[in-house]
Structure 1
Amino acid sequence: MTNFIATLQYYFSYPFVQYALIVGVLIALCSSLLGVTLVLKRFSFIGDGLSHVAFGAMAVATVLQFTSQTLFIMIVTVIAAIFLLRTGQNTKIKGDSAIAMLSVGALAIGYLVMNIFSTSANVSGDVCSTLFGSTTILTLTHFEVIVCIVMSLLVVLFYVLFYNRIFAVTFDEEFMKATGKKVELYNLIIAVLTAVIVVLAMNLVGSLLITALLIFPALSAMKIMNSFKGVVIYSAILSVIGAFVGIILSILFSTPVGATVVFINIMIFIINWIISIFK
């Protein structure tokens, strides 16, 4: 036990580990808050679709050698989120169909661009790292950490200040419209914030595993809690624990960060599912 604590203290002394834990916990917190709303609105796979769009945007930004890749990726992903929101309200193109088209198209185009206009000798390794978040979070710069902190604080602040509106838009949009509230505006803000978190979460779990951060904590919390507030709070706690433990284990055992974090979230879900059976 003493050796284990000494090992943790040794790793915690490195700035890249500190950065990884700060960013990982903040992203997990924000993902859990938005995830509850997305699950209840049956729009869970928006994270999956937007993550693939972010991958495609990242490929283009890499080939064009943009100095500020994160800003470009975020703008493209936000535009995609608005597009998905609009088409989801279109009777000719259903929301799930729009997500599927955008998801597969962006993923294919991104991989194609990275192969045709390769700027690296190890394209397969770069793609794997981006898709599964192998090492990206362990190479964060001070600027990227600051950006993540600011964006995470904005998401949490919005959620706290407009909690009642989010609750209403999650369960009864018609009632909100009847009371004169701007339902479309709040749906738009939620979609945009989801896009922002998806871009930030690419550093933690990679493009393909982002949906896990949005879904698993929310589903785990719903197994135990009976109120919306209880689900939100418990989901946030579980998500933070999952990210923290996952990052620590990945560093100690040299496993892929993204896959390890998702694995811990799966274990947390199974534990809560078992508890709910005997509840």
Structure 2
Amino acid sequence: MIEAMFQYEFLRNAFFAGILIGLIAPLLGVFIVVRRSALIADALSHVTLAGIAAGLLLEKKVSVFTSWNPLYIGMGFSVTGSLLIEKLRSVYKHYQELAIPIILSGGIGLSVIFISLADGFNTDLFTYLFGSVSAVSRQDVWIILGIACAVIATIWLLYKELFLLSFDEEYAVASGIRAKTIHFVFIVLVALVIAASMRIVGILLVSSLMTLPVAASIRIAKGFKQALIYSIIFGELSVIAGLFVSYEIDLAPGGTIVMLAVLILLLSILWKKWRRGS
């Protein structure tokens, strides 16, 4: 694959996009897991699918949208879904977990409607569902790079606030932290990362990249910062190795990346058991 990367631009695009996604997905995933909101990634991925299906439908039916990238509409849906989750969490104050299945159900319903209106699946939608190395364009790489810069800058500037809100929201609010504003920024970033990651991993598997590396890291890490570092390392290993393996033996990149992440998780569990027994 290394030799082919120098010959084909789409492979370089996929590799650079994969490195960025392997960094930012687990980076946000640590905070999501600590908040016990791992299913939020699934909900937003299905809302993003609805946006992508809507974009492909408009591209097919309306001539004005033929030059539009469906990724933009997917991002718009994802951000809207994230804001609706936060709104529903405030409506159902004592049952905040209801917000996620409500949005997930709505996303699935809209996806089915838009897909049926477009007369079923097509090749473009298939690449969004399961990821495709050849589908990553230079424009996608620039979009992912911009999102990655925003994520890293936000974590750098708001690390203390996000840490406190993740572990003890009541104490954080009592300390004067503007919880609503930070929740808003964080959830929007999560939505953008999910929308951006689907080119490599696919919409149906993107949540795995935000949770599996984190699940592996918390088995062996001795603190939050260490878990953060291990999550990024495991995420990068999964993505880079997954891209190489999928190219060499002609497999779907999304599934390969996720299965390598599962393998890393299993190894971390076995390592923990071995350390306890020794």
Q: TM-score, normalised by structure 2?
A: 0.91
Which whole-Å CA distance do the structure 2 matches of 1:188 and 1:277 have between them? 39
What does the per-residue CA deviation read over 1:229-272, in whole Å, with 9 as the maximum and x for residues that have no partner? Answer: 00001101110111000011111111001000000100010111
What does the per-residue CA deviation read over 1:184-218, in whole Å, with 9 as the maximum and x for residues that have no partner? Answer: 11111111100000100111111111110110011
Provide the secondary structure at the position in 2 that maps to 1:123: coil
| Residue equivalent to 2:129 | 131
Query: Among 12, 25, 33, which residue is 1:31 paired with?
Result: 25
Q: Give, in angstroms, the shift of residue 40 of structure 1.
A: 0.7
- Bigger shift: 45-54 or 77-86? 77-86
| Residue equivalent to 2:62 | none
Q: Name the amino acid aligned to 1:227.
A: G
**TM-aligned CA distance change 1:92 to 1:188, over 3 Å:** closer
Contact 1:85 1:95 in 2 (8 A): no
| Residue equivalent to 1:274 | 270
What does the per-residue CA deviation read over 1:55-85, in whole Å, with 9 as the maximum and x for residues that have no partner? Answer: 0011111111231422222122111101102
Contact 2:79 2:191 in 1 (8 A): yes
Which residues in structure 2 correspond to 1:48-87 (within 5 Å)? Answer: 48-65=42-59, 66=65, 67-87=68-88
Q: Which runs of 5+ in 2 are unaligned?
A: 60-64
Which whole-Å CA distance do the structure 2 matches of 1:108 and 1:16 have between them? 33
Contact 1:87 1:94 in 2 (8 A): no
In the alignment, does 2:43 pair up with 1:43? no
Which whole-Å CA distance do the structure 1 matches of 2:4 and 2:25 have between them? 29
Q: Which runs of 5+ in 1 are unaligned?
A: 1-6
Which whole-Å CA distance do the structure 1 matches of 2:236 and 2:18 have between them? 8
In the alignment, does 2:204 pair up with 1:203? no
| Residue equivalent to 1:4 | none
Q: Give, in angstroms, the shift of residue 54 of structure 1.
A: 0.4
Q: Give, in angstroms, the shift of residue 124 of structure 1.
A: 5.3
Which whole-Å CA distance do the structure 2 matches of 1:278 and 1:149 have between them? 39
**TM-aligned CA distance change 1:158 to 1:255, over 3 Å:** same
In the alignment, does 2:260 pair up with 1:264? yes
Q: Give, in angstroms, the shift of residue 13 of structure 1.
A: 3.4
Amino-acid identity (%): 25
Q: TM-score, normalised by structure 1?
A: 0.90
What does the per-residue CA deviation read over 1:132-169, in whole Å, with 9 as the maximum and x for residues that have no partner? Answer: 22x2x422221221111111111011112221111111
| Residue equivalent to 1:246 | 242
Contact 1:78 1:195 in 2 (8 A): yes
Which whole-Å CA distance do the structure 2 matches of 1:128 and 1:181 have between them? 43
Query: Among 231, 236, 240, which residue is 2:227 paired with?
Result: 231
Give the aligned length: 268
Provide the secondary structure at the position in 1 that maps to 2:200: helix
Contact 2:127 2:135 in 1 (8 A): no
Q: Give, in angstroms, the shift of residue 126 of structure 1.
A: 4.2
Q: Give, in angstroms, the shift of residue 125 of structure 1.
A: 4.4
| Residue equivalent to 1:18 | 12
| Residue equivalent to 1:172 | 168
Which whole-Å CA distance do the structure 1 matches of 2:158 and 2:271 have between them? 32
Q: Name the amino acid aligned to 2:254.
A: G
Q: Name the amino acid aligned to 2:115.
A: M
RMSD value over aligned CA atoms? 1.8
